[in-house]
Structure 1
């Protein structure tokens, strides 16, 4: 959280899962906040996703490139307004590749130059929002997921590939943090059990709440 007395250390949370604190500078965070605000206005607006069982997610979501709904991707938001989602910009591909270089380096068994994310899921958490333990498995690609945090800090729970329960590791994600998970951790369960409301730095453009931007390769044909 803001006000930390000592620098937070980079950590390998699990094989292929890397936490890099403070990776995004404040000016870059502001740019991403403005981009997310633009996407949230449409063509498909920010919304609480309805679940097949009748529940509604507490986070609000907007998508770029491909539209996600439980539990598939499409080019049009048939569960919202039927509009085609915003195009995935080239600068997000570049950002994703730089994130992989930061997390894995150039010679760690995965070439960042081959990384071609084609969708971004942007989740907005207010102070009461949570995300249950789940796996990102709608993608046909096993390429890493790049996760960026802006605004309020949170507890990010990173688990195992077999069960929603233990063993898991709780990581504090603060504004500007990068978290990448791939390799044997690509399909690990993960979630957000707590958001620390009021910890956002207004210099990022966030007066409250948390933005989480995840970049993914869907592996789906155009």
Structure 2
């Protein structure tokens, strides 16, 4: 299969929203389909799982990872781990995903973790900060595939006003600089808004530098 190459100069410019950079429709439908095929290969080797928080609550989002580290959660807390809950190492980050980071963030360190979250129609992710990484000067990049998800952005402290926007299939979002520690989450999935996945749902891919 022909390797994907991304030319950032021929892509939409981002819109800034509270310091987040939103690249709407950055990926073409063919590119989205190729990435989805690569994700299916990852899931075959590192199956999706439903994390259980220390409170005993089971997250509604199912997840897996690729790269040097994956994010896991259980009754001992949440953290990065070099292995899947099954004990096997995570698969490598596919070039189709890695090269998005390189095209948009050429000055950043290479990503060490590729977190893959699957949202069914009723799944959501509460407001949270990404602060389990060691170097907050490095950005976080997320890729949306499948059904629309309503993304909520807050500030660097809990509480206060928030702003929402719908993330659609092919969108890319960068969280860096003053937005790096802002609270954010997904509070609604609009089922049936994308034909990308036969059975519906939304996939969010998040690339991060961990160490």
TM-score, scaled relative to structure 2: 0.86
- How far is the alpha carbon of 1:113 from its aligned partner? 3.1
Q: Do the aligned residues in 1 keep the contact of 2:34 with 2:96 (CA within 8 Å)?
A: no
- How far is the alpha carbon of 1:26 from its aligned partner? 0.5
Q: Do the aligned residues in 2 keep the contact of 1:200 with 1:206 (CA within 8 Å)?
A: no
2:111 partner SS: coil
> What residue number does 2:107 align with?
113
> What residue number does 1:87 align with?
92
1:165-202 per-position Cα deviation (integer Å, ceiling 9, x unaligned): 3221101101111111100110111000100001112x
The correspondence for 2:208, drawn from 200, 208, 216, is: 216
1:57 partner SS: coil
Coordinate RMSD, CA, aligned: 1.8
* Distance change in 2, residues 1:90/1:151 (3 Å): closer
- How far is the alpha carbon of 1:88 from its aligned partner? 2.8
2:88 partner SS: coil
- Hey, what's the Cα distance between the residues in 1 that align with 2:13 and 2:192? 23
> What residue number does 1:33 align with?
36
> What residue number does 1:55 align with?
57
Matches within 5 A, 1:128-167: 128-142=122-136, 143-163=138-158, 165-167=159-161
- Hey, what's the Cα distance between the residues in 1 that align with 2:88 and 2:197? 28
1:51 partner SS: coil
- Hey, what's the Cα distance between the residues in 2 that align with 1:54 and 1:28? 38
- How far is the alpha carbon of 1:206 from its aligned partner? 4.7
Paired residues in the alignment total: 194
- Hey, what's the Cα distance between the residues in 2 that align with 1:47 and 1:185? 29
1:200 aligns with 2:194: yes
> What residue number does 1:97 align with?
102
The correspondence for 2:18, drawn from 14, 20, 33, is: 14
1:72-128 per-position Cα deviation (integer Å, ceiling 9, x unaligned): 112112xx211111123455332212133xxxxxxxxxxx23331111001010101
- How far is the alpha carbon of 1:10 from its aligned partner? 4.3
Listed as ranges, the gaps of 5+ residues in structure 1 are: 1-7, 101-111
1:141 partner SS: coil
Q: Do the aligned residues in 2 keep the contact of 1:46 with 1:62 (CA within 8 Å)?
A: yes
* Distance change in 2, residues 1:9/1:90 (3 Å): closer
* Distance change in 2, residues 1:9/1:99 (3 Å): closer
Q: Do the aligned residues in 2 keep the contact of 1:97 with 1:115 (CA within 8 Å)?
A: no
TM-score, scaled relative to structure 1: 0.82
